[in-house]
Amino acid sequence: MSLLVKGFAAKAVGQPLEPFTYESAQLGEQEVRVSITHCGVCYTDIQGMEDHYGIVTFPFVPGHEIVGTVSEVGRAVSGLKEGDRVGIGWQGRSCMHCEYCLRGEEQLCVDIGNCGTWEPYGGFAASVVVDGRFAYPLPAGMPSEVAAVLMCAGISVYSPLRAYAAKGSPKVAVAGVGGLGHLALQFAHAFGCEVTAISSSPGKKKQALKFGADHFILADEDSLRQVRLNYDLLLYTSHGKSDWTSLLYSLKTNGRLAVVGFPDDQVMFDPLELVVHQFSMTGSFIGSRAGMQEMLAFAQAHGIAPKLELMPMSQANEAVLKVSQNRARYRIVLVNDLVPV
Ligand SMILES: [Zn+2]
Ligand SMILES: [Zn+2]
């Protein structure tokens, strides 16, 4: 039985969102339908609307920070039942048999371009269909809007901090105090790190310290020169242009620069410094299924929560505009006012 689902879609590259109804196919054996209550707006949704990655099809329904209630369950799904509250992030499925999937790094699946929750249609809608193994039961007591943001922004910063900063109380710097960065400051603080926030906005100092930063510095050449050879890990969460050389030199010898998010920039630096200081540069992409569950439990235990504002889903366009103009403080979550299915 097919179902008509209402949502909001961009009909072509660079077009605004407009009401859109699509016919949802019958569930696959491993799939669940989730009736959406909340969906966060991520910068990646906006880059998707611009087809920045070349992987989306139009009409494109964005949305991949989803919380909702399981409303239909495929025959082979285990561990989920109708009525369960779940969260869903950017990844909604994977091949489950490539070498990465087999060792529990599903986010690195060789077919990752076809694994998005956006496929065929994302979370700015009444419901979404994903593989049930990528729908995560949420801790009781965690507000749905909080969980929504953790599903992408949360896991994206948790994974590299867990991998490179969770042991030995290292000195960590977080470049960018925005949607990702303000969560990174909270996670790094909870991991026991000495945390520095690096931002180009002096006005963000007070809040950065509230989020868990021990220090705040401006992202200019002079300020960065004063913290030369200082950090074990620098987590880059911004999506603008940056002085990569100064950022890199702020690392200690053997230090690591981890990039999350997708900066519209070319990374430039002198390889000599990379070699003599044995710097590492790492990308980090969302997280695994196991990492997602661990992150949710950790966030709940440590009271980690995004600072956000709620908007009705019918104002998805206004929300997208606000995020694209960097006016969200620090995240927007759409509350569904569409008829649930
Ligand atoms: Zn995202
Ligand atoms: Zn795979």
Read off the pTM: 0.96
Closest C-alpha among 132, 136, 121 to residue 88: 136
AA letter at 193: C
What pLDDT sits at residue 1? Answer: 62
3-state secondary structure of 246: helix
CA dist., res. 165 & res. 210, Å (int) = 20
Instruction: Return the closest-CA partner of residue 27 out of 130, 126, 96.
Output: 130
Nearest to 211 by CA among 200, 194, 197: 197
Q: What is the pLDDT of residues 180-222, one digit of tens each?
A: 999 999 999 999 999 999 999 999 999 999 999 999 999 999 9
229 CA to centre of ligand 1 in angstroms: 31
Ion ligand 1, residues whose Cβ is below 5 A away: 42, 44, 152
Residue 52 pLDDT level (bands cut at 50, 70, 90): confident
Place of tokens 């997280």: 287
Nearest to 5 by CA among 29, 24, 28: 24
Cβ atoms of residues 181 and 200 within 8 Å: no
Cα(131) to centroid(ligand 2), Å: 13
Cα of 289 to ligand 2 centre, how many Å? Answer: 12
Whole-number Å distance, alpha carbon 78 to ligand 1 midpoint, is 26
Show Cβ contacts of residue 4 under 8 Å, excluding neighbours closer than 6 positions: 21, 22, 23, 24, 341
> What are 300-328's pLDDT values in tens digits?
999 999 999 999 999 999 999 999 998 99
pLDDT at 53: 83
CA of 141 to the centre of ligand 1 (A): 23
Which ligand does the CA of 105 lie closest to? 2
- What is the 117 CA–ligand 2 centroid distance (Å)? 15
Residue 99 CA, ligand 2 centroid: distance in Å: 7
Q: Label the pairing between strands 31-41 and 331-335.
A: antiparallel
Residue pair 122/96 in contact (Cβ under 8 Å)? The answer is no
Rounded to the nearest integer, the mean pLDDT of the chain is 95
Give the integer Cα–Cα distance in Å for 319 and 334: 8
Distance CA 274, CA 241 (A): 20
Ligand 2 centre distance from Cα of residue 40 (Å): 26
Expressed in angstroms and rounded, the spacing between residue 145 Cα and the centre of ligand 2 is 30
Pairing outcome for strands 231-236 and 308-312:
unpaired
293 SS3 class: helix
Minimum mean pLDDT range among 1-10, 144-153, 277-286, 296-305: 1-10
